[in-house]
Amino acid sequence: MVRRANDILPERAKRILPEQVKCPEFIRRVGELFTHLHDVGCERDKAGNRGLFFDDYCTLILLYACNPVIDSMRMLQQASELEQVQRMFGVKPFSLGSFSESPVVFDARMLQPIAMQLAAQIQPPAGDPRLKDVQYAIHLVDSTLLRTLPRLAETFYVSRKDGEDHHAWRVHLELQLGMPAPCRFQREGARGDERKNLRSHVQPGRCYTTDRGYQDVSVFNDIHTAGSRYVCRAKDNLVYTVVANLPLTQEDRAAGVLSDQIVLIGQDREQPPNHPVRLVQVRAEVHPKRTRKGMKPSSGRMMFVTNFSRDEACALVVSLIYAYRWTIELFFRFLKQMLGLRHLLSHRPQAVDILLYCMVIACLLLYLWTGHQPDKATLFKLSMYLLGVASLEELTAHLEKARQKRERSKSKKSA
């Protein structure tokens, strides 16, 4: 699949990837990645009136993502009128109408080879040594809502208490642990089914880590049949019958593991589990929990169901795998709060797809450039550099300081 992406990308775009990716100047030249998309969507433009092309559109979105100062389409338009921005990024001024209409004729799938080419250069870093014996790639699965205007029926989500309707797009993500961007994402209406979406994309050799919303026997069966594993947090009202109690090690008990059992679940379903199901219960902090009837204290425990055998993963490892599920929540936060995905530049479905692809490309570029997961401080320094406020030396000094801090942190943990 990566080889096919290399064949699609033009030589000019492929050439700048490995050679310039370590240099901040590469951010300024990022428009070259999209040069081969210039004529996409121009088939109907017989008179040559189009002024905003696909490559310009994508470059503008990356400019928006890397500059927290720009937080709307109108501010992006005003930025495109600045001579320095035009000279630095090779873009032209555009009208709000053309920017809003353009995604209709652009094909977001044309951006996939670029994201694949960038992702192919990244190897997942060495993770938690306690997970080194897990033979399955850990993939974190979840979805989020992107608020949009009430223009389409498929975006209707729910009516609020004040009587107003809530409209949003739902975005499904699958993020491999340690990678800076998702390996798969898909946009659909707000009422899209998370479990159905996962079932249609299950692949072998993976460990799917999910929250309670994915608790479904049919999902578990599909994952097991595909030759993969799952770790899913179970709802507190899970009905189960204990078949066998598995022994706990001293490390398990020290980590707060309460029990490790083989259980029967979903026996009232037409198709019960086609495999042995383990239930691991772990001690958790008691905190207020919001319910339909008001606030009440939590149970003080967390339950995980999995098809890992005890030889493949002990109870401690199962709980640790789920603990890393929080990584995808942090990624959602980075997309929305740092890269500006909370505010959609356009509410058209085609524009949302292009925006998602460009956000993924931005995450990959930042990781390739800095060598670590992008954070708020790095994005701020980068935006100051692009605005001409910070010098290249100051930006480089910040990255070196951050690198030394990470190295000290790793040394303390290893000690």
pLDDT tens for 315-326 read: 999 999 999 999
Q: Which domain holds residue 60?
A: 2-121+345-414
pLDDT score at 279: 97
C-alpha to C-alpha distance for 14 and 141, rounded to whole angstroms? 30
User: pLDDT at position 25, please?
Assistant: 56
What is the reported pTM? Answer: 0.86
| Token output for 170 | 């739902």
- The pLDDT of residue 162 is 61
Has residue 108 been placed in a domain? yes
Does some domain include residue 60? Answer: yes
144-153 contacts: CB < 8 A, separation 24 or more?
144/170, 144/171, 144/173, 144/332, 144/336, 145/169, 145/170, 145/171, 145/190, 146/170, 146/171, 146/341, 146/342, 146/344, 146/352, 147/342, 147/344, 148/344, 148/347, 148/352, 149/347, 151/347, 152/189, 152/349
Question: Closest Cα to residue 223, out of 182, 274, 184?
Answer: 274
Predicted pLDDT of residue 415:
57
Beta-carbon contacts of residue 365 (< 8 Å; ≥ 6 apart)? 21, 26, 27, 30, 62, 118
pLDDT at site 18:
40
Task: Identify whether 403 is part of a domain.
Answer: yes
Give start and end residues of each alpha helix (H) in 269-388.
315-323, 326-333, 349-370, 376-386
CA 130 → CA 158, 177, 267, 349, 388, distances in Å?
42, 14, 34, 42, 44
Query: Does 228 map to a domain?
Result: no
Backbone angles phi, psi at 4, to 5 degrees: -65, -40
**Does 304 fall in a domain?**
no
Q: Residues 98-150: pLDDT tens digits?
A: 898 888 889 999 999 989 888 888 877 777 888 988 999 999 999 998 888 77
Is the residue at 357 inside a domain? yes
Q: How many domains does the chain have?
A: 1
- Report pLDDT for 395: 83
Low-confidence residues in the chain, pLDDT < 50: 1-23
| Within a domain: 47 | yes
What value, to the nearest 5°, has the Cα angle with vertex 100 and ends 52 and 335? 100
pLDDT at 269: 82
Are the C-beta atoms of residues 317 and 130 closer than 8 Å to each other? Answer: yes
Residue 386 lies in a domain: yes
